[in-house]
Amino acid sequence: MKGVFMALSGGIGGAKLVLGMAGILPAEQLAVVVNTGDDFEHLSLHVSPDIDTLLYTLAGISNPETGWGRANESWSFMSALGELGADTWFRLGDKDLAVNVYRTHRLRSGRTLTEVTADLADRLGLSLAVVPMSDDPVRTHLDTDSGLLEFQEYFVRRQCEPAVSGIHFKGSECARPSPGFENLLHSRELAAVIICPSNPFLSIDPMLSIPGVRDSLVNCIAPVIAVSPLIRGRSMKGPTAKIMGELGIPVAASAVAKHYEGLIDGFVLDSSDTDSADSLADSGLKLAMTNTVMQTLDDRISLARNVLEFAHSLR
Amino acid sequence: MKGVFMALSGGIGGAKLVLGMAGILPAEQLAVVVNTGDDFEHLSLHVSPDIDTLLYTLAGISNPETGWGRANESWSFMSALGELGADTWFRLGDKDLAVNVYRTHRLRSGRTLTEVTADLADRLGLSLAVVPMSDDPVRTHLDTDSGLLEFQEYFVRRQCEPAVSGIHFKGSECARPSPGFENLLHSRELAAVIICPSNPFLSIDPMLSIPGVRDSLVNCIAPVIAVSPLIRGRSMKGPTAKIMGELGIPVAASAVAKHYEGLIDGFVLDSSDTDSADSLADSGLKLAMTNTVMQTLDDRISLARNVLEFAHSLR
């Protein structure tokens, strides 16, 4: 396979597939564009949860139990912070904190998130391109039955419990795609765009909300495919299914495909999701059915291989 | 003894005497004004080494071996930072970092250093007043045989090795005493001012460099006394003796007294420093000789008692 494959990813689900693709493609043929709608300022630190999940997963230092943070983490900072009576609802381990302090320092020194992310990837020994969706602040806010909540307030502090009735991407109207994202969107080398099995509403829509991105994806030279984050109406991790139910959307892979209607050329769904496949039969979408559960590294590489081959077949 | 005793202190030496005084005086009768000339921005964090040494010492959580930082400290953050290839010459332990992140966050949220320091003292369970000398930035810089160095560059990174030929307090010409310092300077309750056995050039002179402070001390209603940081020409900790030699000042307690000439009414020096006492005999200064070595808590309380009684005798 030739050309550059661009993955669009949120946190853990996307990171798993990207790790699989990184096991197949040489680094120069894979670029991952990461959601920054979850970013926030906490304790005056710039926290980029999805970028860090990608970096840690690809560098092999992620915590496999939690899905966020670093392996073999320690919590002395957090516990000392708690002793001071400060906010501890957002957990930053001692090692994770090193990345966040470093990033914040570089940003305050005038670097862009693009530069700092590339620098961090490099320092963590990665050679593929990890690209924030934007260097401008885009912040996901949610209308809920507990009022308007910032993303981390909803996701971490409230554990996704409030029912969601609306989603906003604050700042997106003025945001520009990051230079790396922009280049990839218009690259003549682009082989395929792969929308990872991330939350369509919370991880992918923030990217699509940036002016020009959706059109550029529709008009790019490569096929765009999405991998369903739902398997038999359930999300492996995170609130995708819960939010779809609350928004009155059928909780099924087919509804994810419809959410991406007009944008994607192909859709990958789990072999078991025959009902969804049936209902998409007349959609004009190319479908690929495969095992989409990624429990082991072999699962990830196997899914990645199927996804890449499917994308390649649509060129 | 009635009234409020104001101690002027740098880091470790001053903190020891203040701890002794805190063992004698009720909290409302003791206030410590702390040097902030050592403060600096590191990794975009506001680090206040002398304030923290005071806070940790008084709260009983200081590291007695190093003289800085916290007891039972861990270093995961620092080691992860090192793995990123970032600067690690200034050591911030995981627990120490909690205080520095918290302070930085509060300052960035619009609080003054006075407010944040009082808040931290409160959160660490202290009830005496710990007051930064100023809320405005005053930064100690040194002319050395290795060029102009910022204080921490000289003190920590270069381990005080460069020879010092001059000392500057950048920003002091525009700085104001903190509100707490200002109030103490003009308080009708002031019982005595005690210049702790801190480095006169690096810890006390920054305070005296703030416009109005020296005059206010000279004109305040209470006696001003200093405790010698030198014992038989040696400093217990830190570069006092070394710097005096480099600046061409006799390395003796008497030279410290002369440095404070016109400002102090009394001077406390070690019982063994009879030569210094002899040479100060005609100075008009009241002298007190006592053991000034503070190895145990008893030493600290004993010295503090002698200092307070001496100060009281000068009223």
Q: Could you give the ipTM of this predicted complex?
A: 0.91
Burial of B65 (0-12, 13-18, 19+ CB in 10 A): exposed
Q: What is the percentage of chain B residues whose pLDDT exceeds 90? A: 93
Residue A68: is its pLDDT beyond 90? no
Could you say which DSSP state residue B149 is in?
E
B45: which chain A residues are within 8 Å (Cβ-Cβ)?
101
Angle between helices B113-123 and B49-59 (to 10 degrees): 20
Gap between the Cα atoms of A141 and A133, Å rounded = 17
List Cβ neighbours of B156 (8 Å cut-off, separation of 6 or more).
B89, B90, B91
Q: What is the pLDDT of residue B315?
A: 84
For A80, which residue in chain B has the nearest alpha carbon?
B95
**CB–CB of B98 and A80 under 8 A?**
yes
**CB–CB of A109 and B76 under 8 A?**
no
A95: which chain B residues are within 8 Å (Cβ-Cβ)?
76-77, 79-80
Gap between the Cα atoms of B253 and B280, Å rounded = 10
pLDDT band at A14 (very low <50, low <70, confident <90, very high): very high
Chain A residues within 8 Å of chain B (Cβ atoms): 43-45, 70, 73-74, 76-81, 83-86, 93-95, 97-99, 101-102, 104-105, 108-109, 120, 123-124
The sign of the torsion formed by the CA atoms of A184, A185, A186, A191 equals: positive
**CB–CB of A101 and B76 under 8 A?**
no
For A74, which residue in chain B has the nearest alpha carbon?
B76
How distant is the Cα of A104 from the closest Cα of chain B, in angstroms?
7
Q: What is the pLDDT of residue A189?
A: 96
Q: What is the pLDDT of residue B199?
A: 95
Asked if residues A207 and A35 have their Cβ atoms less than 8 Å apart, the reply is yes
pLDDT band at B68 (very low <50, low <70, confident <90, very high): confident
- What distances in angstroms separate CA B21 from CA A117, A247, A270, A288, B269, one per listed residue? 50, 65, 72, 77, 17
How distant is the Cα of A190 from the closest Cα of chain B, in angstroms?
31
Q: What is the pLDDT of residue B236?
A: 76
**CB–CB of A84 and B123 under 8 A?**
yes
Burial of B150 (0-12, 13-18, 19+ CB in 10 A): middle
Q: What is the pLDDT of residue B67?
A: 80
Q: What is the pLDDT of residue B122?
A: 97
Gap between the Cα atoms of B34 and B210, Å rounded = 13
**CB–CB of A77 and B85 under 8 A?**
no
Gap between the Cα atoms of A112 and A109, Å rounded = 9
Best of B72, B90, B94, B104 to disrupt the A interface (most A CBs within 10 Å) is B94
For B61, which residue in chain A has the nearest alpha carbon?
A80
For B87, which residue in chain A has the nearest alpha carbon?
A102
pLDDT band at B45 (very low <50, low <70, confident <90, very high): very high
Q: What is the pLDDT of residue A315?
A: 84
**CB–CB of A84 and B108 under 8 A?**
no
Identity of the residue in B73, B93, B102 whose CB atom sits nearest the CB atom of A84: B102
B99-155 pLDDT, tens digit per residue, is: 999 999 999 999 999 999 999 999 999 999 999 999 999 999 999 999 999 999 999
Considering the segment(s) B4-37+127-313 as one domain, its CATH architecture is 3-Layer(aba) Sandwich (3.40)
B80: which chain A residues are within 8 Å (Cβ-Cβ)?
70, 94-95, 97-99
CATH superfamily of A4-38+128-313: CofD-like domains (3.40.50.10680)
**CB–CB of A44 and B105 under 8 A?**
yes
How distant is the Cα of B45 from the closest Cα of chain A, in angstroms?
8
B79: which chain A residues are within 8 Å (Cβ-Cβ)?
95
pLDDT band at B209 (very low <50, low <70, confident <90, very high): very high
A185-240 pLDDT, tens digit per residue, is: 999 999 999 999 999 999 999 999 999 999 999 999 999 999 999 999 888 778 89
Buried b / exposed e across B217-236, counting CB within 10 Å, b at 16+?
beebebbbbbbbbbbebebb
Question: At A217, is the secondary structure helix, strand, or coil?
Answer: helix
Residue B213: is its pLDDT beyond 80? yes
How distant is the Cα of A52 from the closest Cα of chain B, in angstroms?
14
**Structural domain boundaries in chain A:** 4-38+128-313
Residue where the block lists tokens 């959601």: A35
Q: How many A×B Cβ pairs under 8 Å?
A: 90
Contacts 24+ apart (CB under 8 A), B80-88: B80/A70, B80/A94, B80/A95, B80/A97, B80/A98, B80/A99, B81/A98, B81/A101, B81/A102, B81/B43, B83/A98, B83/A123, B84/A98, B84/A99, B84/A102, B84/A120, B84/A123, B84/A124, B85/A123, B86/A98, B86/A102, B86/B43, B87/B42, B87/B43
Pairing between strand A266-270 and B30-34? unpaired
Residue B235: is its pLDDT beyond 90? no
A80: which chain B residues are within 8 Å (Cβ-Cβ)?
70, 94-95, 97-99
pTM: 0.94
List Cβ neighbours of B309 (8 Å cut-off, separation of 6 or more).
none
A59: which chain B residues are within 8 Å (Cβ-Cβ)?
none
Residue B1: is its pLDDT beyond 90? no
Residue B234: is its pLDDT beyond 90? no
Residue B303: is its pLDDT beyond 90? yes
B239-295 pLDDT, tens digit per residue, is: 899 999 999 999 999 999 999 999 999 999 999 999 999 999 999 999 999 999 988
Angle between helices B94-108 and B76-83 (to 10 degrees): 80
Identity of the residue in B85, B95, B105 whose CB atom sits nearest the CB atom of A43: B105
Identity of the residue in B43, B70, B94 whose CB atom sits nearest the CB atom of A94: B94
For B85, which residue in chain A has the nearest alpha carbon?
A123
> Rounded to 5 degrees, what angle do the CA atoms B104, B110, B114 make?
70
For A78, which residue in chain B has the nearest alpha carbon?
B98
B81: which chain A residues are within 8 Å (Cβ-Cβ)?
98, 101-102
